[in-house]
Amino acid sequence: MAQMTMIQAITDALRTELRNDPNVLIFGEDVGVNGGVFRATEGLQQEFGEDRVFDTPLAESGIGGLAVGLSLQGFRPVPEIQFFGFVYEVMDSISGQLARMRYRSGGRYNAPVTIRSPFGGGVHTPEMHADSLEGLMAQQPGLKVVIPSTPYDAKGLLISAIRDNDPVIFLEHMKLYRSFRQEVPEGEYTIPLGKAEVKREGSDLSIITYGAMVHESIKAAEELEKEGFSVEVVDLRTVSPLDIDTIIASVEKTGRAIVVQEAQKSAGVAANVVAEINDRAILSLEAPVLRVAAPDTVFAFPEAESVWLPNVQDIIETSKKVLNF
């Protein structure tokens, strides 16, 4: 097994699927010769040719339309949106077209499209690059929304996403691209979409989270352990549809929960998780379920970013409120 960063694991997944299925096509802005602005598609055009891995004109809606059209011709497109903040330009292709293809055609056509895109704070990008817009995506029926937190998960989830016959939004947190390495198996393996994973077991409190916040939550759990609290961390991995069973099993075990997301607090994934817990496990709860999230402003300008983003301290404070309720 090789030690890989998340970006390497993603490239490896793309290479695996380009080899595995001649219908897989990769395209987007600068994904060809340049290998993508983060090098996610590094070397793929050289290996598979311009017919399979190609640059597009600079227009996100066109990229989305291309994906719709190519899927109608039996291809399995894996377009890249260079930064997820640019998604507004391609919202119609995603929500108006891809997500509805199966439904609109009475099941006749489907859209096996995986849209990959970097997002996430902590790397001091210009505006419209770092926003967490998974809540927006999660509100669209017909899509699946996947956010890996580790290199191992990224490869297995991306292979599953590409093989899935429904459209998947695959969001890659920029801060995780190169922040650590992990053992990643060679060749193909899959991790099922729609399944959460308990990343750390505990018995006093469940932290339900995803993406970069998984790592902040694990750090918080380690700190809390020093004070005698046993904290479980559940990584959703797919934020839509939710793995409700895993969430509820954890909450029923611990009796206390917080939900941590990098996105702004209102609406969104964490609110949905709280609502599901409320619907299904309220009698197992010893305390209210609280959220840790960013404030409801537009994504912070870089100079305020480190305070704006939820961090280990925020998670510890909220955890203690629930633990000591």
Partner 1 sequence: MASKTNKASLDAMKQLEKVEEQFQTIQILNEEGEVVNEAAMPELSDEQLQELMKRMVYTRILDQRSISLNRQGRLGFYAPTAGQEASQLASQFALEKEDFILPGYRDVPQMIWHGLPLSQAFLWSRGHLKGGDIPEGVNVISPQIIIGAQYVQAAGVALGMKKRGQKAVAITYTGDGGTSQGDFYEGINFAGAYKAPAIFIIQNNQFAISTPREKQTAAKTLAQKAVAAGIPGVVVDGMDPLAVYAAVREARERAVNGEGPTLIETMTYRYGPHTMAGDDPTRYRTSDLDNEWEKKDPLVRFRKFLEKKGIWNEEMENETIEKAKEDIKVAIKEADNTPKQKVTDLISIMYEELPQNLVEQNAIYKEKESK
Give the length of the chain. 325
Q: Which stretch binds partner 1 (CB under 8 A): 9-17, 222-230, 237-245, 307-315?
A: 237-245
Question: Whose Cβ is closer to partner 1: residue 22's or residue 288's?
Answer: 22
Specify whether 215 is catalytic.
Answer: no
Tell me the β-bridge partners of 113.
none
* Residue 104 makes contact with partner 1 by CB under 8 A: yes
Please check whether residue 325 is in contact with residue 288, taking contact to mean a CB–CB distance below 8 angstroms. Answer: yes
Question: Whose Cβ is closer to partner 1: residue 125's or residue 238's?
Answer: 238
DSSP 8-state secondary structure symbol assigned to residue 92 = I
* Residue 165 makes contact with partner 1 by CB under 8 A: yes
Shortest distance, position 2 Cβ to partner 1, whole Å? 32
Question: Whose Cβ is closer to partner 1: residue 25's or residue 220's?
Answer: 25
Residues 23-42 that bind partner 1 (CB under 8 A): 25
Q: How far apart are CA 135 and CA 126, in angstroms?
A: 21
Separation in Å, CA 181 to CA 16, 28, 152, 190: 19, 26, 9, 19
* Residue 96 makes contact with partner 1 by CB under 8 A: yes
* Residue 310 makes contact with partner 1 by CB under 8 A: no
Q: Which stretch binds partner 1 (CB under 8 A): 53-61, 116-124, 127-135, 181-189?
A: 53-61
Shortest distance, position 214 Cβ to partner 1, whole Å? 22
* Residue 313 makes contact with partner 1 by CB under 8 A: no
Separation in Å, CA 148 to CA 35, 191, 242, 315: 21, 11, 14, 20
Residue indicated by tokens 């611990």: 254
Residues 245-304 that bind partner 1 (CB under 8 A): 245
Q: Angle at CA 293, nearest 5°, toward 291 and 296?
A: 120
Which one of 198, 244, 271, 312 is in contact with partner 1 (CB under 8 A)? 244
Which one of 3, 33, 49, 59 is in contact with partner 1 (CB under 8 A)? 59
Give the active site residue among 124, 129, 173, 215: 129
Q: What is the largest CA-CA distance in the chain?
A: 60
Q: How far apart are CA 85 and CA 129, in angstroms?
A: 5
Q: Which stretch binds partner 1 (CB under 8 A): 3-11, 37-45, 141-149, 177-185?
A: 141-149
Q: Of the candidates 183, 76, 82, 69, which has an alpha carbon nearest to the alpha carbon of residue 125? A: 82
Separation in Å, CA 240 to CA 165, 194, 227: 15, 7, 34
Q: Which stretch binds partner 1 (CB under 8 A): 52-60, 126-134, 204-212, 290-298?
A: 52-60
Q: How far apart are CA 187 and CA 239, in angstroms?
A: 26
- Region at 208 (left for phi over 0; alpha for psi -120 to 50; beta for the rest): beta
* Residue 138 makes contact with partner 1 by CB under 8 A: no
Shortest distance, position 49 Cβ to partner 1, whole Å? 11
Gyration radius of the chain over CA positions: 19
* Residue 141 makes contact with partner 1 by CB under 8 A: yes
**Under the rule (CB under 8 A), what is the footprint of partner 1?**
25, 51, 56-57, 59, 61-62, 64-75, 92-93, 96-97, 102-110, 141-142, 144, 164-166, 194, 241-245
